[in-house]
A = this chain, B = another copy of it.
Amino acid sequence: MRASRFFVSTLKEAPSDAEIVSHKLMMRAGMIKRLGSGIYTYMPMGLRVIRKVENIVREEMNRSGAVELLMPVVQPAELWQETGRWQKYGDELMRVKDRHGRDFIIQPTSEEVVTDIARTELRSYRKLPVNFYHIQTKFRDERRPRFGLMRGREFTMKDAYSFDRDVDGLKKSYQNMYDAYIRIFNRFGLQFRPVAADNGAIGGTASHEFHVIAATGEDAIVYCPTSDYAANMEAAEALQGDVSRAAPTQALTKTATPGKAKCEAVAELLNIPLNTTLKSIVLTVETAATKSAPASKQVWLLMLRGDHVLNEIKANKIPGLAGYRFSTEEEIVEYFGTPPGYLGPINTKRPVIVVADRTVADMHDFVCGANEVDFHFTGANWGRDLPEPMVVDIRNVVEGDQSPDGKGVLAILRGIEIGHVFQLGTAYSEAMNATFLDENGKPQPLQMGCYGIGITRILGAAIEQNFDDKGIIWPTAIAPFEVVLCPMGYDRSEAVKAETDKLYEALQAAGVDVILDDRGERPGAMFADWELIGVPHRVVVGDRGLKEGQLEYQGRRDTEATSVPLSEMVDFVKARLNS
């Protein structure tokens, strides 16, 4: 490609609404252009990256045996009503009416449509297994779109859906996709980690996320440096400590803690470690009235160590707590006789269900709220001062916790989720009556899996992982161009022009994706553009070097240029591309 026939458009400054580095750099490099909140045009430079990402995904999906189709962007509401997601999906689902007033949605994902296809196309066990995928525009009406392509509203996703006759088949299809994802993310040239993810209502290790590692990542990834263990924060189990609870040594004492409503403040006042205090979290579960029972309300008290953080997903899995909400201050006063800040499990005003985190269950002589403003108890002990609680893992793990596989201690990294594989089981096929006939002619529900990759999000994630103060540093496999050829005086020097053209053709003939910058920019501006855009390999052709038969090569991460003989440059570049 010649730059004069392409569209290169860079900016000195990022627009003020760009908050993170990938968003800023993509705007400055002319890769995307904002059309509206969370809606971007992929400009020519950005689209080239997207196409390279798509091609890698497509090749590996096809290699895995998945079959590509293309499901519509605009989908009838009826299918979404069958699964109940028309009601449940909430405001993120973009709803639209046609000229006849019929309801449609703009697809955020395609489980309903693919299950509808399956129930007519996959009627016999002989048709199974099948894995359908498409690479298609999605829309999710995010409450607060931001971070450019990282949390946009319109985006491109690869979503695949496997159909199997039984759970064993589903597990094989799942593993097949897991393996394909590993190949895909390896080919991108990104540092990534697959992690076990929360699997919702389905048992087993039925879900994994794939994260690109980046210091700016939204998600915490938990892993064990001395083993294979890796999970996202939602799914990482906090084990029971290996030291069992010590015997009480202090008496229960009501202690004045005026104005100290936070564990940190209490610990400071009393001059005790934070990890001897208890944090109280109050949750409400409401049940609607039915014919046989009136509406009811339960209030739960969750106890965490003062320095720990509640894991809301784990809490939601406690039998009876599903669908909880945080209690209102009014409810807290009603049940505890005091507003938040001085709550505890001892002497509540009305009965509440107490759940202690595993760590809390092992504590003795702890400090907790006294259910009276400006007072805490010290020297509290389970069994002696209050009943033994229900004990459940309800906290986020922290660095240094034991790894759940028993093979070391946990560390934490930041990651950006770019892929997710999930065993759906029969949730959709049963809701939509998608069955196949087995060998005996008996209808059986299809076992489904779904597998997503955020195509456009990968651009943001790749940049968050690979940039410097000059701009983006694309991995070669997904760079808009592999090599940029920068002639010094293309319009002035015949020798430069001739050798540049020759090298350009030779690189193209060697299958190298090269752009020749024939725009006539000054060297400084030209170099700055391509460093900002992030083309990973640069070759400079100049009169001075040519006199000695030399060209200059510089990799985007190299601190210095390398002189390479003219005749060897093609081989040199190819070697660098393959390294």
Which residue numbers of A lie inside 8 Å of B, CB to CB?
Answer: 5-7, 9, 33, 35-36, 39-44, 47, 50, 65, 67-76, 91-92, 94-96, 98-99, 104, 106, 113, 116-117, 120-121, 130, 132, 137, 139, 141, 143, 153-154
Q: Could you list some 7 contacts between A and B, CB below 8 A? A: A5-B67, A7-B67, A41-B70, A41-B113, A42-B69, A74-B94, A98-B141
Which residue on B lies nearest to A152, using beta carbons? B72
Instruction: State whether A47 and B69 are in contact (beta carbons under 8 Å apart), knowing that A94-B74, A137-B137 are contacts in the complex.
Output: yes
A323 CB to closest chain B CB, in angstroms? 22
List, in ascending order, chain B residues with CB within 8 A of A73's CB.
Answer: 73, 106, 137, 139, 154
In the complex, the answer to whether B35 meets A116 with C-beta atoms within 8 Å is yes
In the complex, the answer to whether B44 meets A67 with C-beta atoms within 8 Å is yes
In the complex, the answer to whether A74 meets B42 with C-beta atoms within 8 Å is no
In the complex, the answer to whether A106 meets B99 with C-beta atoms within 8 Å is no
List, in ascending order, chain B residues with CB within 8 A of A72's CB.
Answer: 35-36, 39-41, 154
In the complex, the answer to whether B6 meets A121 with C-beta atoms within 8 Å is no
Listed from nearest, the 9 A-B pairs whose CB atoms lie closest are A96-B96, A91-B99, A42-B70, A36-B76, A7-B67, A44-B67, A39-B72, A41-B71, A99-B141
In the complex, the answer to whether B67 meets A6 with C-beta atoms within 8 Å is yes
List, in ascending order, chain B residues with CB within 8 A of A113's CB.
Answer: 35, 41
Q: A36-B72, A44-B132 given. 10 additional CB < 8 A pairs?
A: A7-B67, A33-B117, A36-B76, A39-B75, A41-B117, A73-B73, A73-B106, A91-B99, A92-B99, A98-B141
A489 CB to closest chain B CB, in angstroms? 19
A24 to B95, CA, bound (A): 31
In the complex, the answer to whether B39 meets A76 with C-beta atoms within 8 Å is yes
A33 to B75, CA, bound (A): 13
List, in ascending order, chain B residues with CB within 8 A of A42's CB.
Answer: 69-70
Which residue on B lies nearest to A113, using beta carbons? B35
List, in ascending order, chain B residues with CB within 8 A of A137's CB.
Answer: 73, 137
In the complex, the answer to whether B43 meets A69 with C-beta atoms within 8 Å is yes
Out of B41, B96, B132, name the residue touching A69 (CB < 8 Å).
Answer: B41
A68 CB to closest chain B CB, in angstroms? 6
In the complex, the answer to whether B91 meets A94 with C-beta atoms within 8 Å is no
